[in-house]
Structure 1
Amino acid sequence: MHFLSRCVLLTCALAGAASAGIGMGQAFPSPKSCGVSGEIPATSGKVVLYDFWGSWCGPCKKAMPAYEKIYQKYRSKGLVVVGVGVDREAEAANRFLAKVPHSFPVCFDFQQKMVAKVGPPGMPTAYLVGRNGKVIHILSGFHGRKSVAELEAAIEAAL
């Protein structure tokens, strides 16, 4: 399928999912319950940052290294970061990951089941989930230092 067609289809799928998505204060679904594959760490009782990304997403290429720095800064205090790849093809997702250094766990939503349940408004979207399993912050897009400062403030308050 042509690259632009894939982007349009995924954008439409995301827009449809966003209307039924998870919002502030709502319980965040377990990746395992959504049928994702890959690394799925234990998250019960922990503060978790879920990063929804796509290999075709320019801002995702900038967000993931920033989330890696956040992970390194806060993981000893109990933060878990989980990347959620939304590509439908493993090859594209793996090429992206090979270019973007990260040490946090990554899972793959090849069948778009988690995307449909969570409803991220676009890529990248980060969901910060508190120890009680409910969404305490949502960051749509990535805007460099501004986004990092916003997330770090929410993480520090949650930890």
Structure 2
Amino acid sequence: MHTLLSRLLLLAALLSGAVTSALAADTGDRAPDFRIQGPNFHGSAMLSELRGHVVYVDFWASWCGPCRQSFPWMNELHDRYSDDGLVIAAVNLDESTADAKRFLREVPVDFPVVFNPGGDLAEKYGVSAMPSSYLVGPDGRIVHRELGFRLGERERLERMIARQVRAAQ
């Protein structure tokens, strides 16, 4: 019951947009900084230390259906572009990391996952949908903000990411 209540509160906050609209990180803004670390990332680094790389920041939760669809696609992106400088960082917003880890056992990933149960990163970025993704260019500024995930948009997003990765080389 506690988890259901926390999901409903998070969803209500995301849908309201009232708080996040004033704080929303948008195209052209410097991406809010955070530490990226994990077993699939060599060591750890602050986002700001990844200048010269293209970073795809994806906010997700275990209860999000479209997130389950986006993870295999992000694995493909990681496989195709990580050697060329793309870093994918998936920021989990579950209140319980156990829920997130259960999701990751079902849908394993090859890119780093950052756990942010308090949701302060979601506030800094102004997350208003699940998932929400931010493409950060090599200069550390947000190039594109994507709300939600639709299978039919994968090619368009990949072209945009590939263009940024080529430009950064």
Q: How does 1:4-153 map to 2 (within 5 A)?
A: 4-14=4-14, 15-19=17-21, 20-32=23-35, 38-39=37-38, 40-41=44-45, 43-144=50-151, 146-153=152-159
Displacement, 1:8? 2.0
Summarize deviations over 1:29-48 as a string: whole Å, max 9, x none.
1113xxxx852445232100
Q: Using the aligned pairs only, state the percent identity.
A: 35
Displacement, 1:81? 0.5
One-letter amino acid of the structure 1 residue matched with residue 139 of structure 2: N
TM-score by length of 1: 0.88
Aligned alpha-carbon RMSD (Å): 1.7
Counterpart Cα distance in 2 of 1:121 and 1:111: 16
Give unpaired runs (5+ residues) of structure 1.
Answer: none
SS at match of 2:50: coil
Residue 157 (structure 1) aligned to one of 158, 163, 167 = 163
Cα contact 2:134–2:144 (8 A) shared by 1:
yes
One-letter amino acid of the structure 2 residue matched with residue 26 of structure 1: D
SS at match of 2:89: strand
Cα contact 1:38–1:108 (8 A) shared by 2:
no
TM-score by length of 2: 0.84
Counterpart Cα distance in 1 of 2:100 and 2:18: 22
* Change in CA separation of 1:48 and 1:65 when aligned onto 2, cut-off 3 Å: same
Moved over 6 A (4+): none
Give unpaired runs (5+ residues) of structure 2.
Answer: 39-43
SS at match of 1:22: coil
Summarize deviations over 1:42-83 as a string: whole Å, max 9, x none.
523210001110011011001111111011111111100011
Cα contact 2:6–2:95 (8 A) shared by 1:
no
